[in-house]
Structure 1
Amino acid sequence: MNFSNQYVRDLAWACFGPRLMHTRELNSGDLSVDNCALELTEARRDWLHQLDGSPSALQEWLERSPTRRLGLYFEALWQYFLETDPLVDLVAHNLAVRANGRTLGEFDCLYYCHERQRHVHLELAVKYFLGIDGETASGHSQWQQWWGPNSVDRLDLKINHLMNKQIQLGQRTEAEAVLADLGIIDPILEVEIRGYLFRKTGSTLPSPMGYNSQQSLAKWLFHSDARTSIAAFQSARFTTLPRLHWLSAAKASDNDCMNGGEMMAALDAHFNTGSRPQLLAAMDETGWETERFFVVPDGWPAPEPSSQSS
């Protein structure tokens, strides 16, 4: 889905790209929870191509609530799809449930699916985790071995929050009343997680339980190992990916790309003045991303000062 417009590429990746986790394999107690059932049909593919040719409506939608937060940008893309698609109706998003002056939680998305003739409660997340070597069991790593680049997020914490709190919000009496006001009773429950898992270069750490094995594990490496590792890439062109370009495959012009030596100089300058991990992409000769990898400071996973979740 290499669309020319960045927003359309991100939309296609957010809503129809490879899922990070198989929701059925995550613990949700007695509830039946699955991935989002809305698939990339031919009609939706045609819609994306038309949007790529004339993306102004999508751009105007995103400009209504500009953000530097990747998670909010990801949710806005989903909201546009659910608002626009003729087979679904977006009923509400970011709908808070309150009691006694405090917020109990929010419904990410509530939509009506005409094909299933049911309302759906959809929770969304986009996350990036780096694997820490350690003991494994049954051919899988543990969820707690996968850390966010800010050293605060962890895969186990995110899954537990999604499956044991966010998707269970509708089971609370206070939330049932909110849903009833919208005419929603017993909605289908869906959780969709997108993102990437990164394994240290040279590590054999297996993927965690529930991981979508059709998506290859990406790589991470320490700054002190970057010179050797970057030289080993088949690509001779690299670019840095700013946070809001972490979703779909990158497309870069010659002016945005660096050779290996230039990239190392940029990394040295960055890590001499800060400690925030850098997400890089290796590019082919036409300017399309071939793979991406994190470079982290040698002291990682020490927490970043004033770190902020995506």
Structure 2
Amino acid sequence: MDDRQLLRDLTWCIEAPSLINSPSWDGLQPLQSLLAEAKLAALPIVKPAPRLGHYYEQLWQHLLTDRLSWPLVAANRQISAGGKTLGALDLLHYAPSINTYCHTELAVKFYLRHESGDAQHHWIGPNAIDRLDIKIQRLTNHQLPLPQHPESKAAIDAWIASKSLPNRECASWQSKMVVQGWLFHPLQEQTKPAHASINPQHLRGHWLHHSAAIPQSAQSAHWILLPRLYWLARALIKREACVHSDSIGCWQNLRLNQPVHLTAKSLAHCLRQQQNSAQPQALLLAAVVPDGNYWREIDRWMLVPDGWPQPRTRSALPPFSK
């Protein structure tokens, strides 16, 4: 991943809409407003984590710590009591200008609409285990209230003291959740209303099973299979940064580290191999057009195993987003 992609992903965090429609659940818009007014920090030195969720946390940690100049109290810090882990805080900062400790829970999600989409449980992850209703319940009932537990307060007070920051009793407290990502709709009936908790301005793509041919109207001369660290911002990738499809030895057990350029013919071959695989994978596919020395995304598709939404076993699943 080059510096250009890193900057695109930072910009995506600042500009991408929330997946969640309720302001009582989401703290994204206030943070985006602050970041839009802040000075651009120097290019961060970020070695992206191998998992997309952790990379997403790194981006937000940089934005809040370096761009807003909020002292960092804790990042992905576990809280334990009596030998039992109670949970972990994604990010905890101190905002000096408002004398407030800002607890931020982060989630970057990719859900596919199954059935009508007018219920939260109709939005399912590509691995068929993750669901919107489960994630929202976890965030609202466990993650956001976690700092208010007596055991958590003791741990947090110790972290604050180690940073020589004001006591929590002398400052305000905010717990916010930031939920961004993409929602994928069946090719037909894309205008169908979603559940009220879904932001109608969400980023969207299409989804298909591996065996379903991409419709002729959506055919592109060029496609790119995107590794998970490229799933945030729309693709704008140097041509020389892409692996050519001919260099892929085995399509059945594909583990992407670089973007893979495909033609319509090699895409069809890839999907046939996935259909025959014992462990077929969900693939994120971008339709692209030439843009100078780059490939520029014009549409994206999530391609899932034919059995989806029946979940596979966890042992067979490659890592997805947090």
Asked if these proteins are the same fold (TM beyond 0.5), I'd say yes
**Offset of residue 95 of structure 1:** 2.2
For residue 64 of structure 2, what is the aligned residue in structure 1?
82
State the alpha-carbon separation in 2 of the partners of residues 17 and 216 from structure 1.
Answer: 8
State the alpha-carbon separation in 2 of the partners of residues 113 and 196 from structure 1.
Answer: 30
**Offset of residue 198 of structure 1:** 0.8
For residue 124 of structure 2, what is the aligned residue in structure 1?
147
State the alpha-carbon separation in 2 of the partners of residues 98 and 149 from structure 1.
Answer: 32
**Aligned pairs (5 A) from 1:97-176:** 97-134=79-116, 141-176=118-153
* Residue 180 of structure 1 pairs with residue 157 of structure 2: yes
**Which segment is superposed worse, 153-162 or 115-124?**
115-124
Q: TM-score, normalised by structure 1?
A: 0.82
Q: 1:253 to 1:309 in 2, by over 3 A?
A: closer
For residue 29 of structure 1, what is the aligned residue in structure 2?
none
**Which segment is superposed worse, 99-108 or 208-217?**
208-217
**Offset of residue 279 of structure 1:** 0.7
Deviation per CA, 1:85-142: give whole Å up to 9, x if none. Answer: 24422221122221100110111111122343311111001111111114x6xxxx11
State the alpha-carbon separation in 2 of the partners of residues 163 and 117 from structure 1.
Answer: 24
For residue 270 of structure 2, what is the aligned residue in structure 1?
266
**Offset of residue 249 of structure 1:** 1.2
Q: Is the 8 A contact 1:240 1:280 kept in 2?
A: yes
* Residue 303 of structure 1 pairs with residue 311 of structure 2: yes
Q: Which amino acid aligns with 2:141?
A: N
State the alpha-carbon separation in 2 of the partners of residues 234 and 114 from structure 1.
Answer: 52
- Aligned counterpart in structure 1 of residue 299 of structure 2, from 291, 296, 303: 291
**Offset of residue 72 of structure 1:** 0.8
Q: Which amino acid aligns with 1:5?
A: R
- Aligned counterpart in structure 2 of residue 194 of structure 1, from 161, 180, 204: 180
State the alpha-carbon separation in 1 of the partners of residues 204 and 179 from structure 2.
Answer: 15
State the alpha-carbon separation in 2 of the partners of residues 86 and 297 from structure 1.
Answer: 42
* Residue 282 of structure 1 pairs with residue 287 of structure 2: yes
For residue 37 of structure 1, what is the aligned residue in structure 2?
30
Q: Is the 8 A contact 2:210 2:304 kept in 1?
A: yes
* Residue 217 of structure 1 pairs with residue 188 of structure 2: no
> Which stretches of structure 1, 4 residues or longer, exceed 6 Å deviation after superposition?
none
State the alpha-carbon separation in 2 of the partners of residues 296 and 86 from structure 1.
Answer: 39
Q: Which amino acid aligns with 1:241?
A: L
**Offset of residue 241 of structure 1:** 0.8
Deviation per CA, 1:172-203: give whole Å up to 9, x if none. Answer: 11112223332224511210001111111114
State the alpha-carbon separation in 2 of the partners of residues 99 and 219 from structure 1.
Answer: 44
**Aligned pairs (5 A) from 1:242-261:** 242-254=227-239, 256=242, 257-261=261-265
**Aligned pairs (5 A) from 1:218-233:** 218-227=205-214, 229=215, 231-233=216-218
**Which structure 1 residue ranges, 5 or more long, are not aligned?**
27-32
Once the two structures are aligned, what percentage of the paired residues are identical? 33
Q: Is the 8 A contact 2:210 2:274 kept in 1?
A: no
Cα RMSD (Å) of the superposition?
2.4
Deviation per CA, 1:62-105: give whole Å up to 9, x if none. Answer: 33xx5321111111111122221244222211222211001101
**Which segment is superposed worse, 150-159 or 85-94?**
85-94
